A = this chain, B = another copy of it.
Amino acid sequence: MAVVMHDTPQPGPARLVALDWGTSALRAWLLGDDGQILDARVCDGGLLRVEDYAATFSDMCSDWLGAHPDVPAIACGMVGSSQGWREAGYLTVPTDLTIAASALTPVPHDRGILHLVPGLRYEHDGRTDVMRGEETQLIGVLRMLDADDLLVVLPGTHTKWVRISAHQVLSFTTAMTGELYGLLMQHGILARTAAAAAPDEGAFARGLAADPSRGLASALFGARAAVLDDQLAPSALPDYVSGLLIADEVRHLLPEHLPQQRIVLCGNAELCRRYSTAFAAHGVTPAASITGDAAALGLWTIAADCGLLSPTRHSEEVS
């Protein structure tokens, strides 16, 4: 096996420490000019596990901040929730996605300030919805696509369906499909019914196509019964349940009349593929599936919009 050595292109100066600090994971990037990723890290220190936000932040970022002491830091996600490091508030929908500096919440830490991005809040007809972190991914998506008038679907633990027009978020809906999947397959009777999962595209397709007329709680029990009756392999049960859950979500939330080119998926590649398959059953093809680091680009864009980035950094460029 040959090892090929490349000349590493000279990285530009560090300009921003950017964090997507969610419910389960903390992802951190050291960004250079134009949001170029110079370094990236991930740990499981999300809201569910973190005990000391300041210590976790220091563990993840103190070497970056030590090497680049003037570089600002920004974070989005559940770190700004009422259960997070500090409550970072919400912008109310409809709202522009150019976030003002005054909307950021500063949190002092031992090497400076961490700026928290606000979430979005939507209220309509007595129904409330919230997001925290996905607004930053949306900003990254809009920067990548240079498109408008979109339905952006961000699959995940709490999947978001977001209507965007004229660079404003008009409305959104959340479905806790990913959370239901996790609960069922980790803690429920289906966890005892399943064997070690073997990817099974056919089982996913069967789940997508299952009769929805008796409702989700009945369809989910049907997955167990199908295994007990040898109609479904225990190892195929996770994919079948994934199909049931995604089909139920898409059936309820995919608008009936929406030009195909307006739907964009953004998230984990495997989840985007699953949602894309579910859309196909309704004759819909997404215009794009963005599986890259939309959050990193979104954080960069927010920092730039808010004037956090100093225009030049000669001291670093010569270091």
Q: Which residue numbers of A lie inside 8 Å of B, CB to CB?
A: 23, 82-83, 121, 123, 127-130, 158-159, 173-177, 179-180, 183-184, 186-189, 192, 211, 213-218, 220-222, 224-226, 228-229, 231, 245, 248-249, 251-253
B129, B215, B221: the one contacting A129 at CB < 8 Å is B221
**Closest B-chain residue to A181, C-beta based?**
B217
Bound CA–CA A49/B307 (angstroms):
58
Please name the residue on chain B nearest to A47 by beta carbon: B192
Contacting pair A176 B121 (CB below 8 A): no
Query: Is the beta-carbon distance between A249 and B183 smaller than 8 angstroms?
Result: no
A129, B217: Cα distance in complex, Å: 13
Q: A127-B222, A128-B226 are in contact. Are A249 and B174 (CB under 8 A)?
A: no
Query: Can you report 20 A-B residue pairs in the complex whose CB atoms are below 8 A from each other?
Result: A23-B189, A82-B228, A128-B222, A128-B231, A129-B221, A158-B221, A159-B217, A173-B214, A175-B214, A175-B218, A176-B221, A180-B180, A180-B217, A183-B184, A186-B187, A213-B252, A214-B253, A215-B251, A217-B245, A218-B253
The distance in angstroms between the C-alpha atoms of A26 and B213, with both chains bound, is 34
A169 to B: closest C-beta gap in Å: 15
Residue of B nearest to A251 (CB): B215
- A249 touching B217, Cβ below 8 Å: yes
Q: Which B residues are CB-close (under 8 A) to A192?
A: 83
Q: Are A175 and B121 in contact (CB under 8 A)?
A: no
List of B residues within 8 angstroms of A128 by Cβ: 222, 225-226, 228-229, 231
Contact of A175 among B23, B175, B221, B228 (CB under 8 A): B221
How distant is the Cα of A218 from the Cα of B218 in the complex, in angstroms?
17
A158 and B221 alpha carbons, distance in the complex (Å):
8
> What chain B residues lie within 8 Å of A159 (beta carbons)?
217
Q: Give A229 to B249 CA distance when docked, in angstroms.
A: 24
CB nearest to A83 among chain B residues? B192
CA distance A248 to B215 in the complex (A): 7
When distances are taken between beta carbons in the complex, the residues of chain B under 8 Å from A176 are 188-189, 217-218, 220-221
Q: Are B215 and A252 in contact (CB under 8 A)?
A: yes
| Residue of B188, B224, B252 touching A218 (CB-CB under 8 A) | B252
With A128-B226, A222-B128, A222-B129 known as contacts, the answer to whether A177 contacts B217 (CB < 8 A) is: yes
Chain B nearest CB from A296 CB (Å) reads 25
- Tell me the nearest residue of chain B to A218, going by C-beta: B175
